[in-house]
Amino acid sequence: MKFSLKETAATAISLSGAAIFIDSLRYKFTDHPKTQEIFGRLNDWAATWGADGLFAHHGLFSQYVIGSAELVASTLLIAGLIPAWRMLNVAGAALAFSVMAGAVSFHLFTPLGIDPNNDGGGLFAAAVSLLVGSAVLMAIRRTELGGLIGRVTSLFTRRRPAAV
């Protein structure tokens, strides 16, 4: 077996990203007070522009919805380390990138701020590191990413049989 820096980096990024997501699930799925504070602040902000409930317990972007997306992303990141399932790894990276792009944006552009938990910005730093890591992972797996995009695109562009 030949050593590959790219594969080692991809494995490290995948495992560390999954660990960050899995660690956060205990807060999101147990209704932890820190999670209530963060999503409550986001919901109050959304209410100021007429979208009250968007981040509430049963809202479109509730802690449970975001936590579920993080669980799926971590599962894909880990399962995709199996060579035959490599495309799952890049799908996990794309989902992680999407979730973390939202998280970083909300930290930067809403009243949430960079340090909502008074943890020295650790939550924000984890989000940024996962955002960058998932972008690097997608670059490493660009061939698989192209294949994934092709498969998804073909789902929407398939020609339907003509009506008889």
Q: Which helix (DSSP H) or strand (DSSP E) does residue 17 occupy?
A: helix 5-28
- Let me know if residue 152 belongs to a domain: no
- Let me know if residue 151 belongs to a domain: no
- Let me know if residue 160 belongs to a domain: no
Q: What is the pLDDT of residue 162?
A: 67
pTM above 0.85, yes or no: yes
pLDDT in tens, 49-108: 999 999 998 999 999 999 999 999 999 999 999 999 988 999 999 999 999 999 999 999
Q: Which residue has the higher pLDDT, 157 or 35?
A: 35
- Let me know if residue 144 belongs to a domain: no
Mean of pLDDT values over 25-47: 94
Nearest to 46 by CA among 31, 61, 32, 64: 61
Q: State the total domains in the chain.
A: 1
- Let me know if residue 163 belongs to a domain: no
Please give the residue range of the domain that contains residue 26.
5-138
- Reading the block at residue 2, the tokens are 């030949």
Task: Tell me what percent of the residues of the chain surpass a pLDDT of 90.
Answer: 75
Q: Which residue has the higher pLDDT, 116 or 95?
A: 95
Phi-psi region of 52 (alpha: psi -120 to 50; beta: other; left: phi over 0): beta
Mean pLDDT of the chain: 91
- Let me know if residue 156 belongs to a domain: no
Q: What is the pLDDT of residue 1?
A: 57
Are 10 and 74 spatial neighbours (Cβ–Cβ below 8 Å)? no
Q: What is the pLDDT of residue 164?
A: 63
Q: What is the pLDDT of residue 137?
A: 96
